[in-house]
Amino acid sequence: MGLPRRGVVLICLVMAAGCAPDPAVLVVDLKTDYLAGVEIDGARLEVTSSSGELRTLPDVTIAEGATLLTGLRIGEISVPPGDHRLVLTLQRGNAPVATRAVSVTVTVDRAVTVLATRSCEDVRCEAPDSECVGGVCVSERCTPETPESCPAPACVADADCVPALSC
């Protein structure tokens, strides 16, 4: 005598759940040339998965004098493997000052650095999936960790760049 229909369904569900990929930890850092506590005092991070699930991390307070050129941890979030779009909004009070989107593919734990430069304040990127960094429109996948997704730098040394953060 075979398994009852409910037993077969239960076994299938257990097997499917057992095959689900483990979530990964995504660590997000911010590098910017905005002045902490003067031009910006907070950051908000939203993460959207390829399935459309939107998660907003708690707002981060940025203290005056924080060193933002070397990086500031904005958050850590457990995400399923796959493509994710991060939208980081820098704030002064509760008003947005600058926004930067980054697209990442997560398969294992990883870190990503979001660059938000003052030189992008008046730049509007028209191409789909493009964002401004250092006054130039680049792919949303362009981060310090994925230089292959970025255009070749227009400078050789940091001293050649304006701002130096874009090199």
Place of tokens 């760049």: 161
Q: What is the predicted pLDDT for the residue at 2?
A: 53
Question: Do 133 and 166 meet the contact criterion of CB atoms below 8 Å apart?
Answer: yes
Distance of CA 106 to the CA centre of its chain: 11
> Across all residues in the chain, what is the average pLDDT?
86
pLDDT higher than 70, residue 10: no
Pick the closest to residue 47 from 85, 99, 100, 103 (CA basis).
Answer: 85
**Cα gap 63→67, rounded to integer Å:** 9
Please give the model's pTM, rounded to 2 decimal places.
0.79
User: What would the pLDDT profile of 36-77 be if each residue is shown by its tens digit?
Assistant: 999 999 999 999 999 999 999 999 999 998 989 999 999 999
Strand ranges (DSSP E) for 2-159?
24-32, 42-49, 54-56, 60-61, 72-79, 82-92, 95-106, 110-116, 130-133, 136-139
**Cα dihedral sign for 92, 94, 96, 101?**
positive
Identify which has the larger pLDDT, 94 or 87.
87
Q: What is the predicted pLDDT for the residue at 164?
A: 47
Q: What is the predicted pLDDT for the residue at 79?
A: 95
Locate 16 and state its tokens.
Answer: 């499917």
Identify which has the larger pLDDT, 1 or 61.
61
Average of pLDDT values for 104-112?
95
Identify which has the larger pLDDT, 138 or 152.
138
